[in-house]
Amino acid sequence: MITGGIDSSRIQAMIAQLHAHATKPDLKPPVIATEPPAVPKADFQDALKKSLDAVNASQVEADGLNKKFAMGDDTVSLSDVMIAQQKASINFQGTIQVRNKLVSAYHDIMNMQV
């Protein structure tokens, strides 16, 4: 019987070949993936947010120590307050410099000829 231009006996023969190949033992060793596991890419937005959160945390810590010292808390010394304020100041100044570099790079890219 011919269906759609293909003889049904040929279809049966092809199915038999597929079954034979499916039941035939595979002599090749299985392929083992040797690629290292994918490392998640560092997202610029996440890195920037983490660094800004760290700067904010240092400023909040310095402010908290400053308030405790001003309230007369004996567990906080003046040197701890000054060191925390200097750390917060350095972190903030570094953030300002990075921002300035990013803005400068943005302006350079926007002024490029296409």
- Could you give the number of structural domains in the chain? 1
Q: What is the dihedral of CA 59, 62, 65, 71, to 10 degrees?
A: -80
- Report yes or no on 24 lying in a domain: no
Q: pLDDT tens, 38-95?
A: 777 778 899 999 999 999 999 999 999 999 999 999 999 999 999 999 999 999 999 9
> Where residue 110 falls among pLDDT bands split at 50, 70, 90?
very high
Which structural domain range is residue 73 located in? 44-111
Residue 48 in any domain: the answer is yes
pLDDT computed for residue 4 by the predictor:
56
Who contacts 1 (Cβ-Cβ below 8 Å, separation ≥6)?
A: 7, 8
Asked if the structure places residue 103 within a domain, the reply is yes
**pTM of this structure:** 0.59
Q: State yes or no: pLDDT of 5 exceeds 70.
A: no
Q: CB under 8 Å to 8, separation ≥6 — which residues?
A: 1, 2
Residue 16 lies in a domain: no
| Position 101 in a domain | yes
Look at residue 35 and tell me if it is in a domain.
no
What would the pLDDT profile of 13-47 be if each residue is shown by its tens digit? 878 887 776 776 666 665 666 777 677 777 889 99
Structural domain includes residue 12? no
